[in-house]
Amino acid sequence: MTGKHLYKKTSQLMMVSLIGLFFTLQASASNMPTDRHSLLVEFLRLTDKKPQWQDPQRLRSLEFGVKNLLNDGLEPSNYQLKRIQQLINQFDDQIPEISAAEDAVISGAYLEAIADLMLGRTRNSNVERYLNYQNQQPNAFAAIVQLAVTYLDEPSVAFDKARPQVQEYQSLRTAHQRILEQIQASPSLPLITPDRPSLRLGVIDPRVTLLRRHLGVEIPEIDSDVYDQDLMEAVRQFQSQQGLEADGIAGPQTFAHINRTPEQDLVAIRVNLERWRRVNLALTDSRVIANIAGATIHYYQDNQLEFYSRTQVGRRDRPTPLMISEISHFTLNPTWTIPPTIYRNDKLPAIQNDPSYIQSNRLTVLDTQGNRLDPDLIDWDNPGSILLRQSSGPHNALGQVVIRFPNRQSIYLHDTPNQRLFDRNQRYFSSGCIRVEDATLLVNKLLEATHSAQASQFDSLLSSGSTRNINIGQPVTIVLGYWTVNATPAGDIQVFTDIYGLDSAMLSALNG
C-alpha cells in the first residue's frame, strides 16, 4: 500500500474513531438515544463523506437555526452552538482548518436537531410511553437524513420543516418567544398575597392596585385601590381564558394563576412543546385530540377544526390512560356492563346501603355466562361472581352514543346524562373513560366526514332506541394526550392543572 493510500485509510479510521467517541460521550452525558450515530453514518454515505461545513453562509444559517431552537424549548448549547460560532468568527479572519472529524461532529449536531424537532428529544425515554409510537414509523430516520441533505445550504429551513406544523405547536412556540421577550424587557411584578379575603366589586384593598398592574388595567389617579367594574370585567376575562369560573371575584385560585411567574410558564411550555414533538408523526390530517389535562376535545378534518367541546375525564385515583389509536365504530343507544372497579368500589356499596338502588338505576344482575339472576336471591354481603348491566335509555351512564377504538384498557368516549358537570372548571370526575359534551354531534360529523354507509340514517337509528353498532367510514386517528398548557395564535397561554403530576418527569427527561 502506497503512503498516499495509507494516509487516506488512516484518516478515515481516525474520523470514524473520533465520531464514535463523540457520540458515546454525548449519549453518556445526556442519557440521549444512540440513534444519532446511525443518522450520521447514513448522512455521510449520502454526502460521499465530503466536508459540508466549509461554507460560511451555510454555517451562519446553521447558527441561526440552532439559536432559534430556544423557542422550541430546546437548549442550543446541546447542538454545538459554541463551536459553530467559533468557526464563523474564524472565517472573518481566514479560512479555518476544519478536520473531517470536526466536520462530522457538526453534521451530527445538525442531524440531532432535526431528529429532536421531528420526533422529540425524549423519544427513547420511558416517560409517557404512549408517545413512543414513532417506533412504528420505519421511514422516520430516512426522512430525517433526506431532509438534512436536501437543505444543506439552508439548515434553518430544514429545522422549520422538521417542526410540527400543527397550530398548537406553533402557538406554544410563539408564546415561548413572547414570554422570553417579556422577561428581557421588564422584571416580574411582585406577587399578590392570596391568603386574605377575596377581592370583589366595591372592595377597597391595597392589593387592588397591584392586581391592576398584573392584568394591564389602567390605574386611576384616585381610588386606585377600589375594585371597580372595569377591574371586575378584566378579572372575569382572565378567568375565562384560564378555564376558571368566570365570576369576576379574585380569590385564591385566581391569584394562583395570576402569580405564576414568566419563568414558570416557560418551563411548562417547554414540557408541552416536547409532547407535541413526540406525537408529531401520529397527527394525521383528520384526527381527534382529547386533552386529558385540559378536559377538552378537538376534531380536525383535513386540518380544519370541525368540532370542539368540553369533556369529563378520569379523576386522580382513576386516571384516563394516555394512548394513540384509531376510531373504528360507534354504539348507539348503548347498554352498560359495569366494569369491575366501578362495581366493587361504587355500585356494590350503594346496593348494600339501599337494595332499591338496582331497580331505580335500571340495573340487571347477570351471572358470568350472561344469564339473568334475581337480585332478591343474592346475598349482597357476599354476592360472588356476578355482573351488573344497565339498560339503554336516557338514564344510561353512557348516554346515547359510545365512540370506540382498539385499546387494552377498554377505554372509550361516550355521551352522559350528567350534563351539568361540564360547567365545572375542574372536570375530573370519571373512572377513566371520557364523557363528551355534544357527543352525538361529534359522532354525526365523523360519520359524514368518513362517508359511512349509515351516515344518512344516524338520526333515525338513534331515535329508534335500539342498541346497535355502526362502523366509521374509514378509521380516524384519536389521541388521548396530556397537555398542561395551551396557547392562542397570538401567544396568550392557558394553564391547566397537572392533575396526574406528569410534568416533572417529562421535564427531567428533557433536561437529562
Enzyme catalytic residues: 414, 433
State how far the Cα of 414 lies from the Cα of 142, in Å rounded to an integer.
39
Q: Of 294, 302, 379, 383, whose CA–CA distance to 340 is shortest? A: 383
Instruction: Enumerate the β-bridge partners of residue 331.
Output: 402, 469
State how far the Cα of 130 lies from the Cα of 135, in Å rounded to an integer.
11
Q: How far is CA 57 from the centre of its chain?
A: 36
State how far the Cα of 507 lies from the Cα of 127, in Å rounded to an integer.
10
CB 266 within 8 A of CB 71: no
CA atoms within a 13 Å half-sphere pointing along the CA-CB vector of 429? 17
H or E, element range at 105: helix 100-119
Is the CA virtual torsion 200, 206, 212, 215 positive or negative? negative
H or E, element range at 353: helix 348-353
3-state SS, residue 454: coil
First and final C-alpha spacing in the chain: 47
**From edge to edge, which strands make up the β-sheet containing 386-390?**
336-337, 386-390, 363-367, 372-373
Amino acid letter, 511: N
State how far the Cα of 236 lies from the Cα of 250, in Å rounded to an integer.
9
State how far the Cα of 104 lies from the Cα of 82, in Å rounded to an integer.
16
Region of 210 on the Ramachandran plot (φ > 0 left; ψ -120 to 50 alpha; else beta): alpha
> C-alpha dihedral over 244, 245, 248, 254, to 10 degrees?
-40
3-state SS, residue 276: helix
Q: Which residues contact 161 (CB under 8 A, 6 or more apart)?
A: 147, 151
CB 66 within 8 A of CB 55: no
**Longest Cα separation, the chain:** 98
DSSP string, 19-68: HHHHHHHHHHHH---THHHHHHHHHHHHTTT------HHHHHHHHHHHHG
Amino acid letter, 83: R
State how far the Cα of 109 lies from the Cα of 119, in Å rounded to an integer.
15
